Chains A and B, each alone.
Chain A
Amino acid sequence: MTTSQIQIVGTLLLAALIGAGVMAQAFQQARRPLWLGIIIGAALGTAGALLLQAPLNFCTFDPERDTGQFIFGLILSALGMAALLLPARWLAVNGLAGLSAGQATHGVFRGRLTPWLLLLPTLAVLVLFLYYPFIDTFRLSTLVASRTRSAFICVENFTDLASDSLYLDSVLRTFVFSGAIVLVGLALALAIAVLAFQPIKGAAIYRTLLIWPHAISPVVAGVIFRLMFNPQGGVINFFTESFIGVRFPWLNDPNYAPFVVIGAAIWTQLGFNILFYLAGLQSIPKDLVEAAAIDGANSWQRFWSIMLPLLSPITFFLIVTNVTFSFFDTFGAIDYLTEGGPVNATTTMIYNVFDTQRQNLGLGKAAAQSIILFLLVVAITVIQFRTTERNVNYGA
C-alpha cells in the first residue's frame, strides 16, 4: 500500500473508533444496548469521514499536496463526522419523542398521491433553487473557475483563504461590526423601549414614530447616510464643525468609514428591536414588578433584577436576528456607502464574496467563502435551537 492509502485507511479507522465511542456513551446514557451503539457509531463515524472526502476523491491525501491541505482534509473528515454524529447522538438521547413533540397530524383526508401533489411546488422550488445551488457551491469550491473554463484544484481555495490576510481581516471585521451593531443597537433599543413603555398619554403614537425605520431598506439607509456623512457637503460635518469645531473625513478615511456603516445598520434595525422589546415588556407580569416595588426595590433595581432577566429570551432572539442582519443585510448599505472601501475598511465577508465573484477567476474562491459563511449560519442556528429549547418556558 502507498503512504496515502495507509493514511486514508488510518483516518477511516480512527473515525470509526471515535464514532463508536460517542454513540456508546450516548446509548449508555439513554440505557439502550451498548453493542448497538458501538456498531451504529462506528458506521456513522466512517460514513461521516467519507461524507466530504469521497466526493473529493481523497485528494487531500495525494502525495503532491502540502501539509496545509492534508490538515484541511482531516478537518473535512471531522466536519462530516460532526454532521452525522451530533444529530444521531441527540436522537439517541432524546429519542424519537423529542422529534414528534407537538405532533401535528390530524390525518383525516385519504389519498396517497394528494399530499405529494400539494407538496410538489414547494419541494420543486426548494430542490431547484436551494438544494441544487447549495451542492453546486460545494463543487465550485474545489475548482479554479471562470465563466469559460474550470479545473479541479482539490481544497486549495480553502487553504489559500487561510493564509490570505485580506480575507482573514474581512472575517474579523464582520465579527467586530456584528458585535458593535448588536451591543449598541440593543442597548439603545432597550432604553427607548423602557421609556416608551411608561404609562403616558399618546403611547401608541410614540410607538409608531419610533419603529417606522425598520421598513426602510439598508439600501435607502446607505443612500441617506452617504449624503449625511459626505465629508464636504454632509450635514453631520456641518453640525460637528458648528458645535465642536472639527470636520471628520468620514467616508474617505478607513478609520471613520466603519462607524458610518455601523451607524446606518443600527438605524435600520432600531425600529425592529424597539418593537420586540416593547412586546417583551408588555408580557412581563405586572404583579411581579409591583410586588418588588412594595418590597422597597427602586425602579433601577426593579429593572436590573426583574425586568432584564425576564427579557432575556427576547434579547436572545434579537441577538440572533441582529447578527444575521449584520452578516447579510448590511450588504446593501455597504454597496451604496463605500463599496467596501476605503482600502477595504468596510469589506465584510458577504461583500468579499460578491467582490471575488466579479473577478474573472474568482468563482471557486467565492464559493469557498460562501461555504465558510454557511458554516457560520449553521453555528448560529444550532446555538439558537439549543438555547430556545432551554428557554421554551418563558415564551413571549
Chain B
Amino acid sequence: MARSLAVPTARSLSTARAAWLPKRWYIHALLWLAIGIIGFPLFYALTVSTQTNAQVFRYQLTPGNNLIVNWNLVMGDRFLWLYMLNSFGMAVSIAIGKTLLSLLAGLAFVYFRFPGKWLVFGFVLLTLMMPTEVIFIALFRFVSNLEMPAYLNLVVPFLASATGTFLFRQHFASIPAELSEAAQLDGATPLDYLFRVLVPISWNTIGALVVIQFLYAWNMYLWPRMIITSQETQVVQVGLRTLLAVETGVSYGPLMLAAVLASIPPVLIFVLLQKQFMSGFSLTRDK
C-alpha cells in the first residue's frame, strides 16, 4: 500500500482510465468478483434463512418474511441454543485445558534435567502421527466403557497436545536463560516462575494456541457424532442433523439459519484474531 502512495499522480492521470475509476480498477474488479463467488454460499444461506420453502424453491434471492418463524423453530423446537452452549463449553474447555497442559509440559522440557528426556519428548511427538480419525474405533470402545459424563467424553481425550507442547518448548527455549536464573535466585518455585514470569510474556503464543484449538474443537465432528447419543448433550455440528431428519421433508429456512448461527462464533474469532492464528502456525511450522 505504501507503494501506491508513492506513485506520482501525474502518471495516473496520463493513463486512459476515467477519473472516477480508482487506480488499478481491474484488480479491484477481479477481487470483488472473487469475494462475490467465495461469499455466495453464505449469502445464499443468509437469504434462505429468512424464507419459507416455497420462497426457496422459487429461487428468490432476496430476503423472505419467515425469519421469526424459522428462529422460533430453531431455538424453540430444536434446541439450537443448547447445542451451541454445549459446543461452546467443549471448545473453551479443550482450548484452555490443552494450553494449560502444554504450558506445564513445556516447562518440564525446558527448565528441568531428567533422565530419558529425549525419549519422553519423542514419545509425545510421535502422537502427531495418530490423529483421532485413525484410532476412533478403539477410542470409542474404550471411552464408552469408562461411562464418564458426556461432557468429559468430549473434552478429556483431547486435552494433551503434541503441537502445543512443542510450541511452548520452542517458545520457552527462545527466552533468555538469565530470566529463569534470576527467578531461581529470588527463590521462585517452577510454578511461580511459569505463572508470574513466563505466562505474562507469552500471551502471543498462548493466544495463538487458544485460537487455533478453539476453532478446531468448535468444528470437530466425527468424535461427537460417534460418542454423544442424547440430545441434551449434543454439540452444534452434529445437532444440525436433527433439522435434516424431519418426517415431513427438510425445511430449508431453519436449516440454513442454524448453519449460519453455528458459524458465527468461529468466523468472528478467526476474523478478529487472524494474526494470532497465523503466528500459531508459523511457530509450529519450523519443527
- List residues of chain A with CB under 8 Å of any chain B CB: 99-100, 102, 104-109, 111-112, 114-116, 118-119, 121-126, 128-134, 136-137, 140, 192, 195-196, 198-201, 203, 206, 208-221, 223-225, 227-228, 232-233, 235, 238, 267, 270-271, 275-276, 279, 317, 324, 327-328, 331-332, 335-336, 350, 353-354, 357, 363, 366-367, 370-371, 373-374, 377-378, 381, 385, 388, 392, 395-396
Find chain A residues with CB under 8 A from B165 CB. Answer: 122
Contact of A377 among B57, B102, B131 (CB under 8 A): B131
CA distance A233 to B56 in the complex (A): 7
Q: Are A212 and B27 in contact, with the CB atoms below 8 A?
A: no
| Residue of A199, A215, A228, A327 with most chain B CB atoms under a 10 A cut-off | A215
CA distance A102 to B169 in the complex (A): 11
CA distance A217 to B221 in the complex (A): 9
CA distance A128 to B145 in the complex (A): 13
Q: Are A200 and B4 in contact, with the CB atoms below 8 A?
A: yes
Find chain A residues with CB under 8 A from B131 CB. Answer: 324, 328, 377
Instruction: Return A210 CB to nearest CB of chain B, in Å.
Output: 6
- The 4 tightest CB contacts between A and B, nearest first, are A104-B173, A215-B270, A125-B160, A217-B219
B123 at the interface (CB under 8 A from A): yes
Instruction: Return A133 CB to nearest CB of chain B, in Å.
Output: 4
B112 at the interface (CB under 8 A from A): yes
- Report how many A-B pairs have Cβ atoms within 8 Å: 292
Find chain B residues with CB under 8 A from A201 CB. Answer: 1, 4, 22-23
Q: Are A224 and B45 in contact, with the CB atoms below 8 A?
A: yes
Q: Are B240 and A223 in contact, with the CB atoms below 8 A?
A: yes
Query: Which secondary structure characterizes the binding site on chain A?
Result: helix
Q: Are B24 and A200 in contact, with the CB atoms below 8 A?
A: yes
B205 at the interface (CB under 8 A from A): no
Find chain A residues with CB under 8 A from B38 CB. Answer: 209-210, 213, 267, 270-271
Contact of B156 among A106, A129, A134, A317 (CB under 8 A): A129
CA distance A115 to B107 in the complex (A): 8
Q: Are B138 and A134 in contact, with the CB atoms below 8 A?
A: yes
Which residues between 140 and 199 of chain B lie within 8 Å of chain A, taking CB atoms? 140-143, 156-161, 165, 169-170, 172-173, 177, 180-181, 183-184, 190, 193
CA distance A140 to B141 in the complex (A): 11
Q: Are B27 and A195 in contact, with the CB atoms below 8 A?
A: yes
Q: Are B266 and A217 in contact, with the CB atoms below 8 A?
A: yes
CA distance A124 to B27 in the complex (A): 54
Having A122-B104, A201-B1, A219-B240, one finds 19 other A-B pairs with CB under 8 Å, namely A104-B109, A104-B170, A111-B190, A116-B108, A119-B108, A128-B142, A130-B135, A131-B130, A133-B136, A133-B138, A137-B137, A192-B34, A209-B38, A223-B259, A233-B53, A233-B252, A324-B131, A357-B137, A363-B137
CA distance A201 to B12 in the complex (A): 14
CA distance A211 to B177 in the complex (A): 39
Instruction: Return A34 CB to nearest CB of chain B, in Å.
Output: 27
Contact of A215 among B27, B237, B267 (CB under 8 A): B267
Which residues between 228 and 277 of chain B lie within 8 Å of chain A, taking CB atoms? 237-238, 240-241, 244, 252, 255-256, 259, 262-263, 266-267, 269-271, 274
CA distance A387 to B139 in the complex (A): 32
Q: Are A119 and B120 in contact, with the CB atoms below 8 A?
A: yes
Q: Are B278 and A279 in contact, with the CB atoms below 8 A?
A: yes
A-B contact pairs, 18 of them (CB 8 A): A106-B172, A109-B180, A129-B142, A130-B160, A137-B135, A200-B24, A213-B42, A216-B267, A217-B218, A217-B237, A218-B221, A221-B41, A223-B256, A227-B252, A235-B59, A275-B278, A332-B221, A371-B134
| Residue of A109, A327, A336, A371 with most chain B CB atoms under a 10 A cut-off | A109
Q: Are A108 and B24 in contact, with the CB atoms below 8 A?
A: no
CA distance A43 to B141 in the complex (A): 36
B20 at the interface (CB under 8 A from A): no
Q: Are B286 and A328 in contact, with the CB atoms below 8 A?
A: no
CA distance A324 to B218 in the complex (A): 19
CA distance A109 to B197 in the complex (A): 14
Instruction: Return B219 CB to nearest CB of chain A, in Å.
Output: 4
CA distance A34 to B2 in the complex (A): 62
CA distance A238 to B88 in the complex (A): 37
CB-nearest residue of chain B to A324: B131
Contact of B169 among A104, A129, A219, A223 (CB under 8 A): A104
Find chain B residues with CB under 8 A from A279 CB. Answer: 278, 282
Q: Are A215 and B271 in contact, with the CB atoms below 8 A?
A: yes
Instruction: Return B184 CB to nearest CB of chain A, in Å.
Output: 5
B202 at the interface (CB under 8 A from A): no
CA distance A212 to B35 in the complex (A): 10
Q: Are A233 and B57 in contact, with the CB atoms below 8 A?
A: yes
